[in-house]
Chains A and B, each alone.
Chain A
Amino acid sequence: MTFLKNIIGLIFRGLGLALKYIFLTISSPVWLPFWLIAYLVEHIAFVRNALIATDLYLPFKNMERTPLRFALTVFAIFIAFLIYGALTAFDNAMNAGVDLAADDRLVTVNKINFTQTLPIAYAQKVTAIEGVDSLVHMNWFGGYYKDPREQVITFAVDQTKLLEVYGDDMLLDETHHKNWLRNQQGLLVGELVAKKYGWKVGDRIPLNSNIFSKMDGASVWDFVIEGVYSGKFKQADTNGVYFHYKYFNEALAFGSNQIGWLGIKTTDPSINEKVIKAIDDMFVNSPFETETVPEKAFNKSFIARMGDIGLIVTSSVSAAFFIILVIVGFSMALAIRERTNEIGVMKTLGFTSRRIFKMVLMESMMLACLGGTVGLAASSFVIKQVTSSPQFPLAGLMLNGEIIMQAIILMVFLGLITGIVPAINALRLNIITALSRR
């Protein structure tokens, strides 16, 4: 019996130790920074003195006096900010098209829906409208590369006008641009696509269309890459691929002389309203009525049509924050309650209630900021890892100033909410009750 018990005990002990060290090793990126901070505060006189001078030393020592609870609480905060950073950056990147939209650009689509086409003659008619600086007509090609799942965002465009309208956003070598204009089978490829498939200038690329077939029945369209453009801004979407409308239109088996939509550049953003009205009035009561909107509004509505990504992001982040609010709040309350005696002693020694209030609040703030900062740093690291893969299609995925500012506000807010009740309790605590409570 005792022998069996010993064996079981040994097995459990071994298992426990193994688990402990495995866990410590796996979680080392998480606890190492905190350990480092604690080490610095203890062993570098300058840091310690600075903390003492600002009255933060006691809160700091209080915070880490039960290392395990400290580690767990900070870890929970860390997780919440990791989720916050990653998801908010993702949401931002999805909406980059809205932020980057130019004020002087409009989009004209078929009023029924933007998947319905317009006659090619509309391009000429709209060009004549006063206030239209330049315009380019575009068609959705429904392109894919070899496998129908490998979708390539391909447009057939009026090649001569593309850069007149969108040139401000697209950086392209001048000779490449000229070569592209010259070659009817030329393809202008975005940086992200080129990276994804390893395409270079001069490559011959077959693209298929899941919508259009050629007159000879073939669904493969041959192209030569003549240029690779990059975005002017870091968040710019360079997933697009452009080719000559002429090549498209002449080879089509059906649906020729139709265009998808018009991209328009006005002479000045202030006359947008006038131009919009002039365009839509021109085609009212025609078989193809139009709807013209500013580029920003178009991009926004396009994203909204795709689904409510924002809602999913917000609710997930809120759920994560709710969890840590509860965990951190209760463990803060517990920590202060355990210290009731001690607070009584401090008050007896002459610490003012105000100072104790501040100390408790500072402790919860420190917890929130520590966990939050490391969590944010981790999410930045994760984002870097993810975006470095050439398969990753979102260019603007990063933590920008706005996300970081919001995170800091969240940290302060979290620190306040979790610390305020224990701090008020500590403030109100009567010395007699404090000392008599066990």
Chain B
Amino acid sequence: MTSIFSQILTVMMMNIRSLPQRFWMSFSATLAISVVVAVLLSFLSMSKGFEKTLEGAGSENTAIVTRSGSKSELNSVLSNDIVNIITAAPGIAHNAAGQPIYSPELFVIVDGIRRSSKLKANLPMRGISSVGFELRSNVEIAEGRMFEAGKNEIIVGKAAQREFAGFDVGTEVRFGKTIWTVVGLFSTGGSAFESELWADTRTVQSQFRRGNSFQTVRVLLETPGDVQGMVDLVKQDPRLVLDIQTEAEFFSEQGEALSGLVSIGWALSIIMSLGALAGALNTMYTSVSDREREIATLRAIGFSNISAFFGTLVESIVLSILGGFIGAIASYLFMNGRTTATMGGNFTQVGFSFEMSPELFQDGIYLALIIGLVGGIFPAWRAARLPVILAFRGGV
């Protein structure tokens, strides 16, 4: 039994050491596999990054109130009366003065020019108050200062400034007739809020003619994750046609917007893998036919056909895993941390960065491994069945 293993090992090492002789053919298969893996990982890391950006925005401590069925902050509308009723619900945390802690907010879309395409894109602008700042973790003014209430001043999220032109601190921007001054740059630790412009709620209400209405209310919960008190109130009061969700829940739903990309990425890479598989098979069959006499000779001096089989199979797997690593590393180098923006659930651009994780890396290597396995098994089969007589034939 040990002899079989040592035989397999010998043949494996022999095949791997002779790889440079078949350099170009092996190279082509490896390259093809690496491109497939790189394509897959690009898609996956894009959707992962998007998901992470949105999930980072949601907190379990905060609940978000929207008009029932609106599904996004943009579509929701809440009148001042509704805001007053719902914020009296049980389960909402109170401050020292006994007032419920809540932040009614506005959400409007303005045009901005994308730096990458020089084209107009939808940029979200949020009317927010100081309570809104407290309800979000990690909000920091990175440059400049806060906006002042009652003034046409905005602060710009890091991702918004990165993706859109003309929002440097100190510049003036014009939305319709109104001129706003950019007074600060804020960060929220990489979450989706960084793609927004923030301004004082009352100012946004008047400049965008929203009267005394809001779009969403965020409330601080007494017990994280527990929105039952508010849900019960909505059920009892027919005036309240509202959806209550924790912020985490709300954003994780929105993060699924790009989940279609994962399926497209997989479908495309699997189809491409078939092409790469053809390349791998080609390479391995050539490898076997190049070494026909060598394999036959080994058989003639007593090596088993099992060793010939595994020798070829391992060669194929080594090539494909090599390709997988090259592809994964290439896509890590080119894609990881690369930033872009795409349409999110609010009909606005959400800036995010490609996010490569060990799990994605693993997916890429698995795909390469499968290509190598299937691409090696048939040629290995042929190698195992080569007649020994070939070794004794003269010439070619």
Measuring CB to CB, which residues of chain A are less than 8 angstroms from any residue of chain B? 5, 8-9, 12, 16, 19-20, 68-69, 72-73, 75-76, 79-80, 82-83, 110-113, 115-116, 142, 144, 148, 208-211, 213, 217, 219, 254-255, 285-289, 301, 304-308, 316, 319-320, 322-324, 326-327, 329-331, 333-334, 438
Contact = CB atoms under 8 A, between A and B. Distances in A.
A319 B327 CA distance: 12
Contacts of B306: 5, 8-9
Nearest to B68: A219
A289 B272 contact: no
B268 to A, nearest CB: 6
A319 B271 CA distance: 12
B396 to A, nearest CB: 7
A213 B241 contact: yes
Contacts of A208: 69
Chain A residues touching B, majority SS = helix
A209 B309 CA distance: 64
Interface stretch (B20-28, B92-100, B158-166, B360-368): B20-28
B274 A75 contact: yes
Nearest to A291: B111
Nearest to B123: A113
A319 B37 CA distance: 11
6 contacts: A72-B278, A80-B275, A148-B69, A210-B75, A217-B239, A287-B177
**Which of B119, B177, B241 lies at the interface centre, i.e. has the most chain A CB atoms within 10 A of its CB?**
B177
B67 A115 contact: no
B279 A308 contact: no
B122 A305 contact: yes
B305 interface: yes
A330 B29 CA distance: 9
Given A76-B279, A211-B75, A113 B25 contact: no
A73 B28 CA distance: 12
A8 to B, nearest CB: 7
A364 to B, nearest CB: 15
A312 B281 CA distance: 29
Given A79-B278, A112-B176, A323-B32, A330 B24 contact: yes
Contact of A304 (B117, B213, B274, B347): B117
B275 A327 contact: yes
Interface in B345-396: 347, 377-378, 381, 384, 396
Q: Which 3 A-B pairs have the closest CB atoms?
A: A79-B275, A327-B279, A330-B28
Contact of B67 (A111, A213, A255, A333): A213
B8 interface: no
A29 B243 CA distance: 52
A210 B73 CA distance: 11
B31 interface: yes
B276 interface: yes
B282 A115 contact: no
B28 A326 contact: yes
A73 B68 CA distance: 56
B80 to A, nearest CB: 12
B121 A211 contact: no
B200 to A, nearest CB: 18
